[in-house]
Amino acid sequence: MIIPADTKVWFEDFDLDTKNLNYQPVSEEIKRTTLRELETDVIYGSGTYVNDKLDNIIVNELINIPEVNYDTTARLLFKLARQVIEKLQSYLNEEEVKNVVQYRKKNITEFIKPQLMEHFRKEVVSYVAPDVRGLTPIVRWNTTKFTQDEVYDFRTTIEPTSRIKTLLFTGFKKACHPKGYKFDSKTEKDFSIILEEDDEVIKWLRPAPGQFNITWDNNKRNYEPDFVVETTDTIYLVETKKEKDIPTEEVQQKATAAYTYCRNATEFTTKNGGKPWKYLLLPHNSVSISNDFNYFARQYEYKTE
């Protein structure tokens, strides 16, 4: 069981892109209609504002963003607030700037937030000492299909490939779930063919939900790898991803957690006559049935050190 113990979060410094920030002053006119006579008149505001600095007004809204810690982010927040004010000053007079900041502070926050979150970073610094058990049962899949749908042999070519995720495949000799599997993509289906045909692979499975206790995102989410593969000398957790997604924060957080799982599993199994564990992170375009499993093991082992 792998649980992060300490997570470091921060925002990288950046300059706000204010090109599309063009808020206009809010009218201070209030229309009043009497219910009995249905007569309407207009009350004009007095131009009163909260007695605070304009950048403070903006920052007081920004700190309501859940990921923002004022103590560690204050310098960046005030910098962004000043950049907003400078943009407003470029096309509004002083009273109009006050009006926009006062009455559109929530809009300003919504404008800043997406750019701020693009620069949000999170890193697991350490993990709780792992809970290691000698064995856990293989969790069953609750696999369903429409009555009229066939069960396909896993080697069957499916067109269009978008249909693959709706179908059930069987015919596996080495899989740990005899009733078959569903796949999320052609990449996963092709990888199952590689596993079945490779003599080095003894058995494999697609983990069902709840098979692993590998948590990430501040312990809020559980990670299940795409495959578990046992060869003659090693057990692998395997994930297939679009190549462009591999550098993303989500994929890297999962990979770090899975790598930590494998490292701790290896410490236990190698002391007790078992096989070491490794984590493979495969770009989807590398999965070709012309490659054997050893190719992936050599090329795509994930390491953090």
Residue-range definition of the domain harbouring residue 100: 4-125
Domain endpoint, select from 125, 160, 195: 125
**Residues 287, 159 share a domain:** yes
Residue 104 falls inside a structural domain: yes
Distance between CA 24 and CA 79 in Å, rounded?
22
Contact 260, 2 (CB under 8 A): yes
32 SS3 class: strand
pLDDT at position 44 is: 43
Tell me the C-alpha distance between 167 and 156, whole Å. 11
Measure Cα distances from 267 to 10, 110, 215, 261, 302 in Å. Answer: 32, 47, 19, 10, 17
Question: How long is the chain?
Answer: 305
* CA–CA gap between residue 300 and residue 238 (Å, rounded): 10
Q: Is 38 helix (H, G, I), strand (E, B) or coil?
A: coil
Say whether both 156 and 102 belong to one domain. no
Beta-strand relationship, 29-33 and 40-44: antiparallel
Amino acid 42: pLDDT: 43
Residues 16, 33 share a domain: yes
Give the number of domains in the chain.
2
pLDDT at site 293 = 96
- The burial class, CB within 10 Å (0-12 / 13-18 / 19+), for 222 is middle
End of a domain among 103, 125, 147?
125
**Dist. CA 231–CA 203, nearest whole Å:** 7
pLDDT at 26: 84
Q: Identify whether residues 67 and 138 lie together within a single domain.
A: no
Per-residue pLDDT of the chain (305 residues; tens, 9 = 90+): 666 666 677 899 999 999 999 999 987 655 555 666 666 554 444 455 556 799 999 999 999 998 898 888 999 999 999 999 999 999 999 999 999 999 999 999 999 999 999 998 877 656 666 666 667 788 888 766 655 668 899 999 999 999 999 899 999 999 999 889 999 999 999 999 999 999 999 999 999 988 988 887 766 788 999 999 999 999 999 999 999 999 998 899 899 889 989 998 898 888 888 999 999 999 999 999 999 999 999 999 998 76
Q: What gap in Å lies between CA 140 and CA 133, rounded to an integer?
A: 19
**Same domain for 105 and 24:** yes
- pLDDT recorded at residue 123: 73
Tell me the H-state helices in 181-292: 186-197, 249-269
- What's the pLDDT score for residue 33? 56
What stretches of the chain adopt beta strand conformation (E)? 4-11, 29-33, 40-44, 120-127, 151-153, 168-170, 201-205, 215-216, 221-222, 227-231, 235-241, 277-283
Distance CA 185, CA 176 (A): 20
151 shares a domain with 292: yes
Q: Is residue 304 part of a domain?
A: no
User: Are 138 and 259 contained in the same domain?
Assistant: yes
Residue identified by tokens 């207009």 is 42
Phi, then psi, of 180 in degrees rounded to 5: 110, 180
184 and 46 together in one domain: no
The H-or-E segment that residue 60 falls in is helix 54-62
Distance CA 285, CA 102 (A): 52
CA–CA separation, 130 vs 126, rounded Å?
Answer: 11
d(CA 111, CA 278): 43
The whole-number pLDDT of residue 296 equals: 96
Q: Which of 125, 152, 182 is the last residue of a domain?
A: 125
Q: Looking at the structure, do residues 105 and 227 belong to the same domain, yes or no?
A: no
The alpha carbons of the chain give a radius of gyration, in whole angstroms, of: 28
Q: What is the CATH number of the domain that holds 230?
A: 3.40.1350
Please tell me the predicted confidence (pLDDT) of residue 215: 82
Count Cβ atoms within 10 A of the Cβ of residue 266 and give its class: 0-12 exposed, 13-18 middle, 19 or more buried.
Answer: middle
Q: What's the rounded Cα separation, in Å, for the pair 198 and 209? A: 26
Q: Where are the alpha helices (DSSP H) in 63-104?
A: 70-89, 94-103
Pair 64, 174 in one domain = no
* pTM of the complete model: 0.62
Query: Both 25 and 54 in a single domain?
Result: yes
Three-state SS sequence of 250-270: HHHHHHHHHHHHHHHHHHHHC
Of the CA atoms within 13 Å of residue 118, those in its CB half-sphere come to: 9
